[in-house]
Amino acid sequence: MRKRVGTVIAAAVVPTLAFAIPALAESGQLGDDGQQAGQQHPYTLVDPGTFGGPQAFLNLPAVPFTDRGGLLGTADTTVHDPDYPNFNPFIVGFADPYLVHAFAWKDGHLRDLTALPGKHSSAVFEVNDSDVGVGMSDTAITDPYTGWPADHAVLFKNGRVTDLGTLPGGYESQANDINDRGQVSGFASNGKSDPYSILGWGTQTRSVRWQDGVLRDIGTLGGPDALSVTMNASGEITGQSYTNATANAATQVPTLDPFLWRNGHMTDLGTLGGTYGLANWLNDAGEVVGQSDLAGDQTAHPFLWRNGTMTDLGTLGGDYGFANWVSDRGDVAGAAQTSDQAFHAFWWHHGTMTDLPPADGAPWAFADAVNDSGMVVGHDSDTQGQELAAVAWAGGRTYDLNTLIAPNQLHLVTAKYVDDHGDVVGRGVLPNGDQRVFLLVRNPSVPLPSASPSARPLPAAGPADQSTATIMAVGAGRRGGIAAAIRQLRNR
């Protein structure tokens, strides 16, 4: 299992943030009857809480859980954002009237990693084994191209937040990853006007790398933009880049190919015949997964790129699919259409794609991660991409994760990460609609049920999954297909 993050950064500790849901006492570990919840259930639910505000969020795509038990995310403070509603959407992804701060949680302690000086929001994506984290913070600078407060990539170290800056002429940057060598990857704007700006900044988006305090543009595949997604332990970076500056008729953007950057060189991974490909994850072996349009740009399939070859992983009988994760042993998790055009999660192992159906009562299922034991996690959804329940697939069975914990008020709607111990990180929703980050700690003394428990009643609709893959999946069944969905993403 890919592990690139370490312990929890030393920063301001919030002393009284025990989360109050009926199933958890102040320690976050006790059930209603005062007994250890793990004695009765396969999982113990932990909610790290907030900084006094109503909500907490995951910062994706990233590994949100460290190999030493630390949980990373972003939480509301009690301070109203002075820029709201003209906030920078890259911090939390949707309108939130409060300032949010990056957090690191471990052993019942929630640590505020703070933000750049002033009334600003921040997010943390990864922390390495030297307790150095990276992420972003908004600033007092107004981006003239977007009109919102500019975001800058930041370094969290020893209780301090350091601005990593942007490329010359640019206003925006974000740091996604840091490895144990201290290498940092992300992306930044360079101030050059670009009608096809990948992130809608109005300027070119460039993949960048910070090392020893130096910011470097790692180039493109020939077009104006390149967007890094993630970096592995050896410093390899994957993402996608335009190969030219001429829009294609179907997608209305230039050809976009996934790339792998290693040893100072960016390699074009190609596509499965279309003009639009996305890299979604990279393991420590240098294997990349994602999705690629087929010829004509009317549908796309999941791919695995390894050793110079892109392999079409196929579907579950339908037309469309995508891959979200590849483990270090080469297992792939994602989703694909069945013969009746419903979406089911899949696990691809040794050349075979296994159908992972939804839990009872849900029409669709999507997988987001798989560990080295073959446990897959993700979520059920309705046919509009609204998240309904966090789900795990293990031992040939489908589990609604809400059935594997003590009863509580938090409804788990999606699972985004699972480690090799079986601990799960994801997102839940309270009855009033507020979102929270959750950690499920595996109790090895309680086996998973031999039969899938009856699923809890599904909500009428959960939060909308705003990932690119899901937006394109919903678009795949509509008039205009994924080409129209790509145009929608660009307009968004």
Looking at residue 36, its pLDDT comes to: 41
Looking at residue 458, its pLDDT comes to: 60
Tell me the per-residue pLDDT of 462-481, one tens digit each, with 9 for 90 and over.
Answer: 566 656 666 666 666 555 56
Tell me the per-residue pLDDT of 263-321, one tens digit each, with 9 for 90 and over.
Answer: 999 999 999 999 999 999 999 999 999 999 999 999 999 999 999 999 999 999 999 99
d(CA 165, CA 142) in angstroms, rounded, equals 14
Looking at residue 18, its pLDDT comes to: 34
Tell me the per-residue pLDDT of 74-112, one tens digit each, with 9 for 90 and over.
Answer: 999 999 999 888 877 776 655 689 999 999 999 999 999
The mean pLDDT of 337-344, rounded to a whole number, is 94
d(CA 232, CA 202) in angstroms, rounded, equals 29
Among 75-79, 172-176, 249-253, 436-440, name the one with the lowest average pLDDT.
249-253
At 19, the pLDDT band (50, 70, 90 cuts) reads: very low
Q: How large a percentage of the chain has pLDDT more than 90? A: 73
The mean pLDDT of 332-358, rounded to a whole number, is 96
- Cβ atoms of residues 405 and 458 within 8 Å: no
Q: Which residues of 116-142 are buried (b: 16+ CB within 10 A; e: fewer)?
A: beeebbbbbbbbbbebbbbbbbbbeee
d(CA 234, CA 141) in angstroms, rounded, equals 34
Rounded to 10 deg, the angle between the 468-476 and 481-491 helix axes is 140
Give the three-state DSSP class for 464: strand
Tell whether the model's pLDDT for residue 483 goes beyond 70: no
Q: By CB neighbour count within 10 A (0-12 exposed, 13-18 middle, 19+ buried), where does 27 fall?
A: exposed
The mean pLDDT of 38-51, rounded to a whole number, is 89
DSSP 313-358: ---BEEEEEEEEEE-TTS-EEEEEEETTS-EEEEEEETTEEEEEPP
Tell me the per-residue pLDDT of 425-434, one tens digit each, with 9 for 90 and over.
Answer: 999 999 999 9
The mean pLDDT of 113-131, rounded to a whole number, is 94
- Cβ atoms of residues 417 and 425 within 8 Å: yes
Mean pLDDT over the full length of the chain: 87
Looking at residue 83, its pLDDT comes to: 87
Strands 203-211 and 214-217: antiparallel
